[in-house]
Structure 1
Amino acid sequence: MTQKTTTFLMFQNGEAEEAMTFYISLFEDSKVIDLTRIPAGEPGPEGKIRHATFTLAGQEYMCIDSDPVHSFTFTPSMSIYVTCDTEEEIDRLYAALAEGGGALMPLGDYGFSKRFGWVNDRFGVSWQLNYLG
């Protein structure tokens, strides 16, 4: 078996499916590969995601709904980095991801990039968006 790494997102408050569906709507070549729900009678909220695998722009991710509430959540020190092909793409993604979230670095020229932005989305996941031009 070939070793492989995959980003794994743990959502609290039952937001995994909503987040996954939102992310898939933003990127081409994205889809749900596998989804398992918590069945009735088992620990956790019935119908929430026990485990899901999905792709964003062909890159594989995993997510779950965590039943126990943890004292930690997502942090900007770990972010999803996206290289955009056009200024229109970076503008669209930044606007969609920032809605209900918050800007860490507004879109702009920071010297290392013609157009760069860093945002936390409404689920708390951090995204760095870059357009080199």
Structure 2
Amino acid sequence: MQKIVPNLWFNGNAAEAGEFYAAAFPGATAEVTGRYPDEGLPEFQRALAGEPVTVAVVIEGFRLTLINAGGEFAPNPAVSFMLNFDPLQLGDEQTARDRLDAVWAALADGGTVLMPLDEYPYSPRYGWLQDRYGVSWQLLLADPSGGPRPFVVPQLLFSGPAQNRAKEAIDFYTSVFGDAAPGFFAPYPEQTGPAAPGSAMFSDFTLEGQTFAAMDSGVEQDFTFGVGNSFEVRCADQAEIDRLWESLSAVPQAEQCGWLVDRFGLSWQIVPADMDVLLRKPGAYQRMLEMKKLVIADF
């Protein structure tokens, strides 16, 4: 089971977005996995009574959770999803190009192009866009000689207060998680906008068997990590929840309902692996709202 699940914040339209992604990606699925209680909600959530609270989207075996909430937060390009279209896995280069172009067209409908779909030094076909819901995707025609890579790779863009801290973050995350390791690292050779020489032009690493990428922005950005993009970690027991909470939490005022913010501004949700089951207990949702770190025994 996927241990670290990216979560994306939606403004009341997560179910609609799930259908959009299921249609955009061949073979993808979307399923409502939880609903708000019909009663007992705080004032700011009462309009959502009985509505979906989470929608699971599965793309090529990779799970994303869409959070159905209000307009307080939204995704931004500080976290994007790199999609690797591999000619070897898809049969040949033309098939991979055609698949890439079709997914690009679907995601771009109603969205915003951040980097046009074109040839670049690092790929014969690449583009970066924000879809109609503000979620960022990077589509890449992969180089088969580089070895197999997952189709979906979350990428962290370190900018603003997190600028030039990608290498520090990789070292930190790979020390916190048990099954973790740094991978490829390509430094900026010289000052590039706000990116310092030696900072991460591109890098990757693994956490719990999952591949992530990270880079320091070479352009001044008006965004950084926020609650609209978070990473849910499904923990085996209370001891694992306690350990990760203690290691990651750096902003006490951000702690709420299993959410925390780390030293780089990235949001995490540290939850029990059977969270869906726990929330089915009578009154469990209301008890969760009173917690900061989640305590399994208190559900």
Corresponding residue SS for 2:120: coil
Alignment of 1:53-132 (within 5 A): 53-67=56-70, 69-70=71-72, 72-85=73-86, 86-132=96-142
CA separation of 1:87 and 1:66: change in aligned 2, threshold 3 A:
same
Deviation for aligned residue 1:42: 4.3
Deviation for aligned residue 1:64: 1.3
Alignment of 1:15-34 (within 5 A): 15-32=13-30
* Structure (1 or 2) with the larger CA radius of gyration: 2
Report what 2:194 is aligned to.
none
**Residues 18-77 of structure 1 deviation map (CA, whole Å, 9 limit, x = unaligned):** 11111112223422355222243343313432123331111011121113x32x421112
CA separation of 1:55 and 1:99: change in aligned 2, threshold 3 A:
same
> Are the aligned partners of 1:15 and 1:123 in contact in 2 as well (CA < 8 Å)?
no
> Are the aligned partners of 2:123 and 2:142 in contact in 1 as well (CA < 8 Å)?
yes
- Unaligned runs of 5+ residues in structure 1 are none
Higher helix share goes to which structure? 2
Report what 2:5 is aligned to.
6
Corresponding residue SS for 1:40: coil
Q: Aligned-residue CA RMSD in angstroms? A: 2.1
Q: Distance in 1 between the 2:108 and 2:40 partners? A: 35
Q: Identify the structure with bigger relative contact order (alpha carbons < 8 Å, sequence gap 6+).
A: 1
Identical counterparts, % of pairs: 34
